[in-house]
Chain A
Amino acid sequence: MKTDTTRELLINMGPQHPATHGVLRLVLEVEGEIIKKCTPYIGYLHRGVEKLAEDLTYVQALPLTDRLDYLSSIINNVGFCLAVEKLMGINVPERAKFIRTMMSEMARICSHLVWIATHALDIGAMTVFLYAMRDREKLLEMFEMVTGARLTVSYPRIGGVRCDINDKFLEELDKFIEEFPSKVEEYETLIDRNRVWLKRTIGVGVITAEEAINWGLTGPTLRGSGVYYDVRKFFPYDAYDKVDFEVPIGKNGDVYDRYKCRMLEFRQSAKIIKQCIEKLPTGPILAEESPRIRMPSSPLKINKEDIQFEIYNDDKNAEDFIKKFTEVYASVEAPRGELGFYIVCDDSAKPYRMRVRAPSFVHAGVLPKLCEGSLIADVIANIGSIDIVLGECDR
């Protein structure tokens, strides 16, 4: 006999869906429009970057990092280079540091532009998309001027950058930075004082400061909740300790505060770039001891005297083991959050293990927490506000 049973409607959102930013798949259990349970499935873009890197030399592994967060590839490159430089003890020349900082901030603006474009499009404001793309195009053209590539640039090198920048580039960049704040205001006039936008974002997807820390959020997603943590300030790298900038902090931890944080970061990035142009020193752009691509099999020279250790058990092999494997963790403030590279080196020319700590991966994990109990439309707003890139999430 058939009995009357009720059950929740299961909605399979993605991996092919206009608003899941790539190939994120969410299985939503809904009751009416209210979400009872949200289960994210990732891995559709898994390319095994960590495994691939184990078979490539440090120099060869660099382009792999472009493909992680393809919207801000330079920052990924910088993160990897920082880790290897730390491992090898290379000092990067000042000019290269400033160029990297400048380019990183350009990439951050680029990435945030894509974020505001897609976030607004998800909530229904189409026009912002094309406004943001207009300005991103200019930045991409500038990337092309220096690096020859627009998206996956592979511009930084271990120990510096690949090629020097010229005056024409600086001129263009200066012009862009001059007018960029007014462009940001343009986006804000379209959405920031719009009643519909405010209604869709304020109070949606709230995450408190303690929860945000507990969930391991980083970047603007964490700062939207009012936690002051920015890798650029906490563990300064490149030239970030030589430029003056602020870290915008939110309060309520809802979609609107995260949005606001990123909008304020636009202006801070512009400020950093401006200072970099002014303070740009002259000199070499690549360190002497930088590994070259023609010598792939030469082992790394790591001074074993740098290792300080103490063994508390009677394992005889321990000392050899400790001396053989050296490891470092270096992180950068990517547009999405803390992007960390953990590299274990076994003295060969290839990394023994390269681990990528991807902010998108962590942020995708918090989606169920943000979405449960809200409406279907809020899922879209939440995905937009945590700003994930699946290339980085799945690696």
Chain B
Amino acid sequence: MDPIEIVKRIKNKFPDEVLWFRCFREECDITVKKDKIREILTYLKNTPTLDFNYLIDLTAVDYLGFREPRFDVVYHLMSIKYRHRLRIKAQVPEQACCISSICDIWNTAEWFERECFDMFGIEFTGHPDLRRILMPEDWDGFPLRKDYPVFSDLADKEWSTFKELKEKAKQWKGNED
């Protein structure tokens, strides 16, 4: 199906939600408001003529300084039957940095959302087990945010747990003597 037609159908179904769409190199992305993201995705998955049964990817992009709301949560959908792909982007502001989880629609979203939370600090409400996944559990900050320090003085600081561990090791060594 022509991607523009898919966009039109979504637009007709959710007239207030769609903010804009864009086509570039035969790829279409639709930017929507975050509130009804579950409904939109469920609609896309369950409509037989669209049949987006496959969630390829879920991630986020940080547009700090370029746009308000700051984040986009990006969903890549695909239909195995019709062989088409679609990108849905939901805008998430920095304040109230949350969006509803879609774990129950696609199981695969569970880890993607955890990663997204780990890297961007976006909270997925309704996620059964929202923990850090790639970074250590007690890590400060969200690495893939654009304001995460890369070259700053913070980089020289020691990771607090490592410091504690070194202290402990010293104590332990002291006890042994």
Query: Does A associate with B in a complex?
Result: yes
Stretch of B36-44, B53-61, B92-100, B152-160 with 4 or more beta carbons under 8 angstroms from chain A: B53-61
Chain A residues contacting B61 (CB-CB under 8 Å) are 344, 352-353
A327-382 contacts to B, CB under 8 A, are 327-329, 331, 338, 340, 342, 344, 346, 352-353, 355, 357, 361-362, 364-366, 369
The closest CB in chain A to the CB of B83 belongs to: A234
A46 touches B76 (CB 8 A): no
B24 touches A213 (CB 8 A): no
Bound together, the chains give a CA A395 to CA B61 distance in angstroms of 17
Q: How far is the CB of B24 from chain A (nearest CB, A)?
A: 5
Chain A residues contacting B57 (CB-CB under 8 Å) are 329, 340, 342, 355, 357
A306 touches B25 (CB 8 A): yes
The closest CB in chain A to the CB of B18 belongs to: A312
Report if B87 contacts A (CB, 8 A): yes
A51 touches B144 (CB 8 A): yes
A229 touches B80 (CB 8 A): yes
Bound together, the chains give a CA A352 to CA B145 distance in angstroms of 11
Report if B107 contacts A (CB, 8 A): yes
Bound together, the chains give a CA A61 to CA B24 distance in angstroms of 23
Bound together, the chains give a CA A215 to CA B25 distance in angstroms of 28
A329 touches B18 (CB 8 A): no
Chain A residues contacting B22 (CB-CB under 8 Å) are 307-309, 322
Report if B130 contacts A (CB, 8 A): no
Q: Contacts A51-B143, A394-B134 known; A326 to B24 CB distance under 8 Å?
A: yes
- B23: which of A309, A312, A395 is its contact (CB, 8 Å)? A309
Bound together, the chains give a CA A318 to CA B21 distance in angstroms of 11
Report if B29 contacts A (CB, 8 A): yes
- B21: which of A48, A234, A309, A324 is its contact (CB, 8 Å)? A309
- B24: which of A328, A353, A366, A369 is its contact (CB, 8 Å)? A328
Chain B residues contacting A317 (CB-CB under 8 Å) are 67
Chain A residues contacting B25 (CB-CB under 8 Å) are 86-87, 89, 306, 328
- B76: which of A86, A211, A234, A357 is its contact (CB, 8 Å)? A357
- B56: which of A50, A87, A357 is its contact (CB, 8 Å)? A357
A311 touches B19 (CB 8 A): yes
Can you list, as one digit per residue, whether each of A380-395 has a CB less than 8 Å from chain B (1) or not (0)?
Answer: 0000000000000011
- A215: which of B19, B23, B67, B108 is its contact (CB, 8 Å)? B108
A313 touches B59 (CB 8 A): no
The closest CB in chain A to the CB of B62 belongs to: A353
Q: Contacts A48-B143, A234-B83, A306-B24 known; A216 to B55 CB distance under 8 Å?
A: yes
Q: Is the interface of B mostly helix, strand, loop or mixed?
A: mixed
Q: Contacts A50-B144, A213-B80, A306-B24 known; A329 to B85 CB distance under 8 Å?
A: yes
B106 touches A216 (CB 8 A): yes
B29 touches A327 (CB 8 A): yes
Number of residues from B at the complex interface, CB < 8 A: 44
A213 touches B56 (CB 8 A): no
Q: Is the interface of A mostly helix, strand, loop or mixed?
A: mixed
Chain A residues contacting B50 (CB-CB under 8 Å) are none
Classify chain A: how many residues form its interface, as a range: 35 or more
A365 touches B56 (CB 8 A): no
Report if B74 contacts A (CB, 8 A): yes
Q: How far is the CB of A247 from chain B (nearest CB, A)?
A: 13
Chain A residues contacting B110 (CB-CB under 8 Å) are 365
Bound together, the chains give a CA A331 to CA B87 distance in angstroms of 14
Report if B66 contacts A (CB, 8 A): yes
B29 touches A340 (CB 8 A): no
Chain B residues contacting A327 (CB-CB under 8 Å) are 24, 27, 29, 87
The closest CB in chain B to the CB of A47 belongs to: B134
A365 touches B53 (CB 8 A): no
- B66: which of A324, A357, A365 is its contact (CB, 8 Å)? A324
- B133: which of A43, A50, A234 is its contact (CB, 8 Å)? A43
Report if B165 contacts A (CB, 8 A): no
The closest CB in chain B to the CB of A361 belongs to: B111
Report if B127 contacts A (CB, 8 A): no
Q: How far is the CB of B60 from chain A (nearest CB, A)?
A: 9
The closest CB in chain A to the CB of B33 belongs to: A313
Bound together, the chains give a CA A364 to CA B134 distance in angstroms of 13
Q: How far is the CB of A322 from chain B (nearest CB, A)?
A: 5
B24 touches A315 (CB 8 A): no
The closest CB in chain A to the CB of B136 belongs to: A43
A213 touches B23 (CB 8 A): no
Q: A48-B143, A216-B55 are in contact. List 20 more A-B contacts (CB 8 A).
A: A43-B135, A46-B135, A50-B119, A55-B150, A214-B107, A216-B54, A308-B23, A308-B24, A311-B20, A312-B19, A313-B19, A321-B67, A322-B20, A322-B22, A328-B27, A329-B76, A355-B59, A357-B57, A362-B111, A366-B107
The 7 A-B residue pairs with the shortest CB-CB distance in the complex, in nearest-first order: A216-B108, A43-B134, A365-B111, A309-B22, A308-B23, A311-B20, A357-B57
22 A/B residue pairs, CB under 8 Å, sorted by A: A87-B25, A89-B25, A213-B54, A214-B108, A229-B54, A306-B25, A309-B20, A309-B23, A318-B19, A318-B20, A321-B63, A324-B66, A327-B24, A329-B76, A329-B87, A340-B56, A340-B76, A342-B76, A353-B61, A357-B56, A364-B111, A366-B107
